[in-house]
Amino acid sequence: MMTGKPLSRFTKDRTGIMGLTLSQIGLFLATSILLVAVFVTINSSDWQETAELQSLASSFSTLLEDMDSRFFEHSTLFLFPENDYSYTVKLSTEYIVISVKGSQGTALSVLERFLTRPWIRLSEQNWTTGIDLHAYLNITYGHQGTSHDPISAENFTEFMQEYNASALLFAIHPLEIIIGEPVVLEKVSLFYDDTNRLDLLLVYQT
């Protein structure tokens, strides 16, 4: 027959499983807090970089719209600055895509679709700037495409085929911008069929 308090022999045992369990819980909590802190720090960095790139894309798109709304020929510069992290900028006639390698090794990208469609030009093409364009038209069609020397409607139609071919090219192979070098945005007016006018928005790096 059992005498004394029946549970006394268990309460005196201080090496039981409960002490070990509490230690493990404490370790798990500490590890979880550390992992959450690391996760938050990593994702905060990715979020900040993505926000910065989104701001760049929006600023460039807004500048395009501002240039397009002007009633006169004009040019301005836009700079994609060098940062403490590497990123790429690609342009087509319809959108801008800016990408950066995230902390997890995955690509983070932002895309901004243009409301106006620029004409992207390369320095090695037969013409690049507005001055180059008028000189090219004069050599090709015998008229500069200015208000005082417009090209014919037939020549205009032929010339715009070049624009369509260029738009298709950069839709398939977007132009990669050289970071740290200015991008030129230039509005130039093309006159044809005596009184008709088309404003072109050129984008290029020299």
> Looking at per-residue confidence, does 105 or 48 come out higher?
48
Beta-carbon-side half-sphere exposure of residue 101 (alpha carbons within 13 Å): 4
pLDDT tops 80 at residue 154: yes
Per-domain residue ranges of the chain: 36-204
Residues 6+ away with beta carbon under 8 Å from 107? 99, 100, 101
Q: How confident is the model at residue 34 (pLDDT cuts 50, 70, 90)?
A: very low
Average pLDDT of the chain? 83
Higher pLDDT: 123 or 203? It is 203
Order of strands, sheet of 87-91, starting from the edge strand that comes earlier in the sequence: 107-113, 95-101, 87-91, 175-176
Query: Which residues contact residue 83 at a Cβ distance below 8 angstroms, ignoring those fewer than 6 apart?
Result: 52
Among 43-47, 79-83, 114-118, the range scoring the smallest mean pLDDT is 43-47
pLDDT digits (tens, 9 = 90+) for 77-93: 999 999 888 999 999 99
- Of the ranges 30-34, 109-113, 180-184, which one carries the lowest mean pLDDT score? 30-34
Q: What is the pLDDT of residue 40?
A: 40
Gap between the terminal Cα atoms of the chain: 102
Q: What phi and psi, each to the nearest 5 degrees, are found at residue 7?
A: -100, 0
Question: Distance between CA atoms of 165 and 60, rounded to whole angstroms?
Answer: 24
Query: For residue 45, which amino acid is it?
Result: S
pTM for the full predicted model: 0.76
* Residue 11, Ramachandran bin (φ over 0: left; ψ between -120 and 50: alpha; else beta): alpha
Dihedral-angle region of residue 145 (phi above 0 means left; psi in -120 to 50 means alpha; beta otherwise): left
